[in-house]
Chains A and B, each alone.
Chain A
């Protein structure tokens, strides 16, 4: 691998979107307004072109590690703004810029006529900038900068409809839940600096073997140093990538506009955690405990999120849980040492999940509700959306030949064949996930596109009014979960209103064309990683090998065939069962949910995790805040000082003002007495 100087197009990748952001945020309200997308889309498209040029450099075997600017110098602490461009970064660059470009274009149609149009594009640009800084950074601090930056943009965009309380709350929730993870991540970065004296990746990873087996005193416990650092860094990844136990923010994040869900909460930002683990693989490799934790957390999240997704009725929430579940797959792969497989899934997932979200956005755009109970029969109204939705669903479900199949199969195979002590355990969960993924995805598709149209928004409103009294307690988290875009028909521009009441219609080309491009990705993106078994070269894994290494498997071809056939069969069973339940025997789901009403309730309420957190963390914190912070610190100490000082001055002045009698003679006497006093002083002292 040859080193290479930093070129202008490397620098432009992150800074083009930043320029777009600055233009739109400064001039958006007055100048660019409904032309904001020109700057936003062209800047992101430009950085996509630059990313392609960069990919070519990396494919030619070049690695770039250069500082652009020295950011902080303090004693031995030195951090620069610099770029590390290696195969891992190159993959992320392609994923981020491709998805961002297509989603920006889609958003032109989706956000058409919205009052915050320029603001939306400005934030999307800022997000792209932060995400690119995150993946391109050559040190932990820049990673942290990008990390917090994308979190901030996520907050802005989840709460984009800020005058809607549930959206504003969801934004806060995402930000606060992430804070828990980022706290650990921050300490992890400190630990890296304390241990290695530098935050530069190359220096840290070059010396990483020197800490193997070392222990350190942490909060009074003697713990293994690599395990500690790895787990602290993983804390951040858990928060950002919505893994158990910090997964609760992601479903609520669906309050944001759908392009945001696609870009931030499916394709790019949430994968930052996986990127972090893959980037820090030298540290993780040193600790078996950390690796097993990553694998188990990933596998559990994958399984639980998939089971929740089965019962949900909000189209975007189903896909959100699917995202959780797929992120779990990626962590599972990283945890068994198959980083390349994890990143491969990240890469294919970005395409089919962005496609699922955008197609869902297209559906919401047409029927104005998020609730799949009121969709149905959309196949004949929106053929393009239907086609791409099915492609994305097949890819997500691991249908042979599509992107998702290769990456998911690679993960399941890695779990089976790895030396990890939890490998077999996570393998079984991964197989279970392989059943659930196509099941819930096609449940969604069958409910949305097949059968009869069930009325859209109008039917939903009628239903909520009828049930509002009896169901208010159990539906509280769902009744508010709709994209306000669907409701604000006045914000849709004139072209759509004329269709109101005549049934749904296909979205404009500005929205469907990006869908088609993503569909190509969902089909073909995985072809770069076809395993040797199926006649491919697994180029993807070889490409990443310099960064993440390659796990050694000792298993026969027969086993590999067996695992592949098993997982594919399970996926097809899931698909078939879904078709049976939601196309043939449509009363069956109802009966099953009645039969196992307890299980159904638990799943429907997402294992009551939100309720549990509310009880154990949110309420005590609120009480503490009200009693101590508001009641004592704020009311007594802060207000005491703020009000006490002027009160004291007031009391003192009340006494002092008596001197001002207003009678001229008193002043005269004072003056005379003062003069006598001064003269006496002079005489006595001289």
Chain B
């Protein structure tokens, strides 16, 4: 039995929303980065489901790009987090506001 499209989309919505909520509500920068990953993967699910539904491979190709960008973002983000942690001994974003105008 094939899974209907709406389920995929509901799953995608749920994953993305969890990501948004996590990003806005948590103060730990690692958790925030993980939340971004969730958002991106929610979008990926949506892209692939719809790509399969309309029989167009372009959606899946786009998903690969998103994965590549997410990998890069995670690498750089974590590097920044490590550098920051070494300097400040904290991963709490509210304590980091040097860029205040």
Which residues of A approach B to under 8 Å, CB–CB?
Answer: 656-665, 668-669, 672
Contact status B20-A662, CB under 8 Å: no
Cβ contacts under 8 Å, B20 to chain A = 672
Contact residues in A for B24 (Cβ distance below 8 Å):
665, 668-669, 672
Partner of A663, one of B23, B29, B97: B97
Chain B residues, Cβ within 8 Å of A661 = 97, 100-101
Whether A665 contacts B99 by the Cβ 8 Å rule is no
A sample of 5 inter-chain contacts (CB < 8 A) reads A659-B101, A660-B99, A662-B100, A663-B94, A664-B29
Give Cα distance in the complex from A292 to B93, angstroms.
Answer: 95
* Residue pair A657, B32 in contact (C-beta under 8 Å): no
Q: How large is the interface on B (under 10, 10 to 19, 20 to 34, 35 or more residues)?
A: 10 to 19
A661 CA / B101 CA spacing, docked (Å): 6
Which of A657, A659, A663 has the most chain B CB within a 10 Å cutoff?
A663
**Within 8 Å CB of B98, what residues of A?**
662
> Taking CB as reference atom, which chain B residue is nearest A660?
B101
B93 & A664 in contact (Cβ 8 Å cutoff): yes
CB-CB < 8 A to A659: which residues of B? Answer: 101
Give the complex CA separation of A658 and B97 in angstroms.
13
Please report the C-alpha to C-alpha distance between residue A662 and residue B96 in the assembled complex, in whole angstroms: 7
A664 to B32, CA, bound (A): 10
**CA A293 – CA B94 in complex, angstroms?**
91
Q: Beyond A672-B20, A672-B24, is A665–B93 a contact (Cβ under 8 Å)?
A: yes
User: Is A662 touching B23 in the complex (CB atoms < 8 A)?
Assistant: no
- The verdict on A665 contacting B101 (CB below 8 Å), with A672-B20, A672-B24 known, is no
Those of B39-60 within 8 Å (CB) of chain A: none
Beta-carbon contact of B101 and A663 below 8 Å: no
Known: A661-B100, A662-B98, A663-B100. 16 other contacts (CB 8 A): A660-B101, A661-B97, A662-B96, A662-B97, A662-B99, A662-B100, A662-B101, A663-B94, A663-B97, A664-B32, A664-B96, A665-B27, A665-B93, A665-B94, A668-B23, A672-B20
State the Cβ distance, A672 to closest chain B Cβ, in Å.
7
Q: Which residues of B contact A662 (CB under 8 A)?
A: 96-101
**A559 vs B101: C-alpha distance in the bound complex, in angstroms?**
100
Give a binary string over B54-82; 1 marks a CB under 8 Å from any A CB, 0 the rest. Answer: 00000000000000000000000000000
Query: A657 contacts B94, CB within 8 Å?
Result: no
Q: Nearest Cβ distance between residue A201 and chain B, in whole angstroms? A: 71
When chains A and B are docked, how far (Å) is the Cα of A669 from the Cα of B24? 7
Which 10 pairs, one residue from A and one from B, show the smallest C-beta to C-beta distance?
A660-B101, A662-B100, A662-B97, A657-B101, A662-B99, A664-B93, A663-B97, A661-B100, A668-B24, A668-B23
Alpha-carbon separation in the docked complex, A668 to B23 (Å): 8
Inter-chain contacts of A656 with B (CB < 8 A) = 101
A664 to B93, CA, bound (A): 7
Task: Determine how close the nearest CB of chain A comes to the CB of B51; give it in whole angstroms.
Answer: 22
Q: How far is the CA of A272 from the CA of B100 in the complex (A)?
A: 72
Q: Which of B27, B94, B101 has the most CB of A within 10 A?
A: B101
Chain B residue contacts of A672, Cβ below 8 A: 20, 24
Contact call A660/B93, Cβ cutoff below 8 A? no
Q: How far is the CB of B45 from chain A (nearest CB, A)?
A: 19
In the assembly, what is the distance between CA of A64 and CA of B80, in Å?
Answer: 86
In the complex, what residue of chain B is closest to A659 when comparing beta carbons? B101
Nearest A residue to B20 by beta-carbon distance?
A672
Look across to chain B and name the residue whose beta carbon is closest to the beta carbon of A653: B101
Query: A658 to chain B: closest CB distance in Å?
Result: 7
Please measure, in the bound complex, the distance between the C-alpha atom of A660 and the C-alpha atom of B100, giving whole angstroms: 5
Q: How far is the CA of A661 from the CA of B97 in the complex (A)?
A: 7
Chain A residue nearest to B25 (CB atoms) is: A665
Which A residues are in CB contact (< 8 Å) with B23?
A: 668
- In chain B, what residue has the closest Cβ to A661? B100
Shortest C-beta distance, A156 to chain B (Å), equals: 55
- Minimum C-beta distance from B81 to chain A (A): 12
- Cα distance, A668 to B99, chains bound together (Å): 15
Complex: A658 Cα to B100 Cα, angstroms: 8
Contacts of B94 in A (CB 8 A): 663, 665
Q: Which of B1-57 contact A (CB under 8 A)?
A: 20, 23-24, 27, 29, 32
